Amino acid sequence: MVRVVHTIAELHKILSPLWRKGDPVGFVPTMGALHDGHVSLMKQAKADGNALVVASVFVNPLQFGSGEDYDEYPRDLNGDVKVARDAHADVVFAPSVAEMYPRGFLTYVDQDKLTDKLCGAHRPGHFRGVLTVVLKLFNVVRPAHAYFGQKDYQQAVVIQRMATDLNLDVKLHVMPIIREPDGLAMSSRNVYLGSKHRQEALVLHQALSRANELVAAGERNARKLAGEIRKIIGQSKSAKVDYISVVHPETLEDLNDISGKSVIAVAARFGKTRLIDNVIVE
Instruction: Label residue 46 left, alpha or beta by phi (over 0 means left) and psi (-120 to 50 means alpha).
Output: alpha
- Is 38 annotated as catalytic? yes
Q: Which amino acid is at 178?
A: I
CB of 38 to ligand PAF, least distance (A): 8
* Closer CB to ligand PAF, 75 or 210, in the complex: 75
- The span from the first CA to the last CA of the chain, in angstroms, equals 42
* Closer CB to ligand PAF, 80 or 152, in the complex: 152
Q: Which residues bind ligand PAF (CB under 6 A)?
A: 29-31, 60, 63, 130, 133-134, 152, 155
Asked whether 142 and 17 are in contact (CB, 8 A), the reply is: no
CB of 19 to ligand PAF, least distance (A): 22
CB of 256 to ligand PAF, least distance (A): 30
* Closer CB to ligand PAF, 2 or 149, in the complex: 149
CB of 197 to ligand PAF, least distance (A): 21
Interacting residues of 38 by C-beta distance below 8 A, sequence separation 6+: 28, 30, 55, 83, 87, 149
Q: What span, in angstroms and rounded, lies between the C-alpha atoms of 161 and 228?
A: 31
Q: Of 12, 35, 38, 122, which residue is the catalytic one? A: 38
* Closer CB to ligand PAF, 130 or 279, in the complex: 130
Nearest to 71 by CA among 97, 102, 95, 110: 97
The residues annotated as belonging to the active site are 38
